[in-house]
Structures are given as structure tokens and as C-alpha cells.
């Protein structure tokens, strides 16, 4: 289970629990080998398994964790290491001061369509990075989206099966027993953004209710409805989705939510004044600026001067290299 002070994997000291979800419990930990703070997550095994099945689940978590170390993207939590400690599998990840999207929405309410579109672009780019490596997220939902204290976005649990997706965020084809695919990630992205602006899942908490038409999504509604199409083949690709989000935000990165950490007041910085003569009005200074006429003779002289400087520099570099041979 893990307790404060426990060392897992021979090097990661558990300091304090900082979060938990359906996939596992997350600890603030310390890497005693590299002397850095990390996050360590114990992966839950599905309930009701016999010892052999639990061992298979732990081995699967290790395999998926190793694959997740390949996903390197600014909007994806980096997995540093995967270790076994007794029957448990642990993921060791970068630590980012943040709160998950579920907590943020409960504290601050829903996002505006503009904010959700910017968030959607970040999430879509993270999913693309995984898909390009043949990795499907499988369980994108607000609990797996971290809103960092510096205003950034981070996706967690990429490619980790765990208990599987929440029914409200599960694509219809997955609910019917089909495999998770990039198209099912697109559906989960749509549900996640729908919740961001509407506050509730589009198909209810169990994912089986009739589709609830968006009421607050505004210009984002059309893009959301495409992501939520039941036929996976008719859903847009992630590149097309990013383009549709960019059309809404029009490149305004400030449209995203403010940082979750308090913003410190800024103080004006006193710049040293240059030692100059009396201040002259800008117009007067401009009117007295001397006019420089570049004649053909002056241009040729400038070219010859620059060329001679370059030749001298090249010779100097060559001599320096010889000295260090």
C-alpha cells in the first residue's frame, strides 16, 4: 500500500499522498539517487482478482508504463521510471504543482467556450503525440487532466489501462466491447470538453442517456458535436480538431484559465538613466538627425571593410583551432 517514509524501487521515498483517482494513489516522493522531487503512483489492480490475475494486471501496468516513457510532449506528464514493489506496480513521474480539472471545475465553475477551445487544442496535441507512437490514452477524462499552477495543461495516465474509462467518458464502441482506438480517444476528448463548458456529461453519468444538446458551448458546440458522433469513422481527426479549435481562439493563448496558484503583485523596476545631456523633445531630435547619403563609392567601401573583417575573423578561428590540436 505504501506509507510515509517507505522507499519503493530502492530509491523513491514516499513523503505524502497528494491525490488519488480510479487508477491509483499518487504520492509526493523524492528520488534519492538523482536528488529531485517526483510523483509516484501506485497502480490499482481491478477488484476481485485472484493472485494469478493480479500478477498479470501488475505486469501489464509495468509494460504500459514503460511504453508511456516514450511519450515526450509539453502537455503530457513525463514518466521517468516503472518499478515493482511487492505485488504493486508504481509509475514514477515528473511532479507538477497543479490540480486536476475535476477539482478546478468544482471550485471555479465551467469554462467559457473560448477557454475550452484553447484547452481542447492542448489536449488534442497531447493525444496526437501518443497516437504517433501507437499509444492510445484509453481513459481521457477530467480527472486525468492537470491544470498546472503556472497555467499549463498536463495529461496523465497515457496508455495506462487501470480500471478502464469512466462510463460517462467511454466511446460507444468501447462500451460494446470493442478495443480502445485513437477514434475512441477523440470521443473522450469531446466528452471532457463538453463537461468543461456544460458541467455535466453529454450522455449522463452512465453514458447511456439520450444526448443532451449543449446549452453553453456557443461557437464551440459544432466542434463538440462532431467529436461526440457515435460512428467512430465519422469523427474528425485530431489535426482537423486542432484547426477547428484554433479558428475559435484565433491564436489567443490568453484565452485559457488563469493559473491556479496565486499571482504575486508585480513591482515596477527602476531602470538606470543613461548619462546624457538635457532632454530634447522627440520631434526636435528627429528633425536634427543628420541625413546620411549612401553613394556607390561609400557602399563599395563598406563592403570591402566588412569583407576584410570576416577574413580576419576566419584566420583567427583557424589559428585558434590549430593551437588546440
pLDDT for residue 186: 99
Burial of 220 (0-12, 13-18, 19+ CB in 10 A): buried
pLDDT band for position 92 (50/70/90)? very high
Q: Assess contact for 191 and 184: CB atoms under 8 A.
A: no
Tell which residue, 192, 241, 199, 201, has the closest CA to residue 216: 199
Half-sphere CA count of 194, side-chain side, radius 13 A: 29
User: In which residue are the cell numbers 484547426 written?
Assistant: 243
Going 220 to 176 to 102 to 183, the CA torsion angle's sign is negative
pLDDT for residue 165: 83
Tell which residue, 86, 77, 76, has the closest CA to residue 40: 77
pLDDT per position as a tens digit, 138-196: 999 999 999 999 989 999 999 998 777 899 999 999 999 999 999 999 999 999 999 99
User: What is the chain's Cα-based Rg?
Assistant: 28
Is the per-residue pLDDT at 85 higher than 70? yes
Starting from the edge strand earliest in sequence, which strands make up the sheet with 98-100, in order? Answer: 98-100, 145-148, 153-155
pLDDT for residue 303: 52
Query: Three-state DSSP class for 18?
Result: strand
Is the per-residue pLDDT at 46 higher than 80? no
Q: Which grid coordinates are listed for 307?
A: 569583407
- Alpha carbons 204 and 307: distance in angstroms, whole number: 73
Burial of 2 (0-12, 13-18, 19+ CB in 10 A): middle
Domains and CATH numbers, the chain: 1-95 (3.30.200.20), 97-259 (1.10.510.10)
- State mean pLDDT over 306-317: 47
**Which of 312 and 270 is assigned the larger pLDDT?**
312
Is the per-residue pLDDT at 33 higher than 80? yes
Q: pTM of this prediction?
A: 0.77
Q: Assess contact for 198 and 110: CB atoms under 8 A.
A: yes
Segment (H or E) for 175: helix 172-175
pLDDT per position as a tens digit, 263-287: 323 333 333 333 334 333 334 333 3
pLDDT for residue 286: 38
Please report, rounded to a whole number, the percentage of residues in the chain having pLDDT higher than 70.
Answer: 77
pLDDT for residue 207: 92
CA distances from 271 to 117, 274, 275, 277, 318 (A): 40, 9, 12, 17, 41
pLDDT band for position 70 (50/70/90)? very high
Is the per-residue pLDDT at 74 higher than 60? yes
pLDDT per position as a tens digit, 313-325: 444 444 334 333 3
- The DSSP letter of residue 79 is E
pLDDT per position as a tens digit, 117-135: 999 999 999 999 999 999 9
Distance from the Cα of residue 204 to its chain's centroid: 27
pLDDT per position as a tens digit, 213-241: 999 999 999 999 999 999 999 999 999 99
Q: Which residues of 265-294 are buried (b: 16+ CB within 10 A; e: fewer)?
A: eeeeeeeeeeeeeeeeeeeeeeeeeeeeee
Amino acid at each position: 500500500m505504501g506509507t510515509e517514509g517507505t522507499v519503493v524501487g530502492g530509491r523513491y521515498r514516499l513523503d505524502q499522498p497528494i491525490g488519488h483517482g480510479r487508477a491509483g494513489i499518487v504520492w509526493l516522493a523524492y528520488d534519492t539517487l538523482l536528488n529531485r522531487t517526483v510523483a509516484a503512483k501506485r497502480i490499482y489492480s481491478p477488484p476481485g482478482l485472484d493472485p494469478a490475475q493480479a500478477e498479470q494486471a501488475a505486469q501489464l501496468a509495468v509494460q504500459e508504463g514503460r511504453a508511456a516513457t516514450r511519450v515526450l510532449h509539453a502537455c503530457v506528464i513525463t514518466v521517468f521510471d516503472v518499478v515493482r514493489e511487492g505485488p504493486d506496480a508504481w509509475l514514477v513521474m515528473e511532479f507538477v504543482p497543479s490540480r486536476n480539472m475535476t477539482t478546478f471545475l468544482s471550485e471555479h465553475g465551467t469554462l467559457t467556450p473560448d477557454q475550452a477551445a484553447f484547452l481542447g487544442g492542448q489536449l488534442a496535441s497531447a493525444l496526437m503525440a501518443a497516437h504517433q507512437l501507437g499509444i492510445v490514452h484509453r481513459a481521457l477524462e477530467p480527472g486525468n487532466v492537470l491544470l498546472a499552477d503556472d497555467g499549463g495543461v498536463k495529461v496523465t495516465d497515457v496508455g495506462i489501462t487501470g480500471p478502464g474509462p469512466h462510463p460517462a467518458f467511454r466511446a460507444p464502441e468501447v462500451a460494446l466491447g470493442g478495443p480502445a482506438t485513437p477514434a475512441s480517444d477523440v470521443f473522450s476528448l469531446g466528452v471532457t470538453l463538453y463537461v468543461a463548458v456544460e458541467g455535466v456529461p453529454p450522455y449522463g453519468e452512465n453514458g447511456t442517456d439520450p444526448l443532451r444538446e449543449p446549452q453553453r458551448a456557443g461557437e464551440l458546440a459544432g466542434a463538440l458535436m462532431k467529436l461526440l458522433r457515435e460512428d467512430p469513422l465519422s469523427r474528425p481527426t485530431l489535426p482537423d480538431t486542432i484547426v477547428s479549435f484554433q479558428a475559435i481562439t484565433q491564436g489567443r493563448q490568453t484565452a485559457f484559465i488563469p493559473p491556479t496558484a496565486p499571482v504575486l503583485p508585480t513591482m515596477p523596476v527602476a531602470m538606470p538613466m543613461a548619462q546624457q545631456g538635457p532632454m530634447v523633445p522627440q520631434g526636435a531630435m528627429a528633425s536634427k538627425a543628420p541625413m546620411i547619403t549612401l553613394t556607390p563609392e561609400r557602399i563599395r567601401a563598406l563592403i570591402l571593410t566588412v569583407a576584410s573583417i570576416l577574413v580576419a575573423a576566419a584566420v583567427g578561428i583557424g589559428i585558434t583551432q590549430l593551437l588546440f590540436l
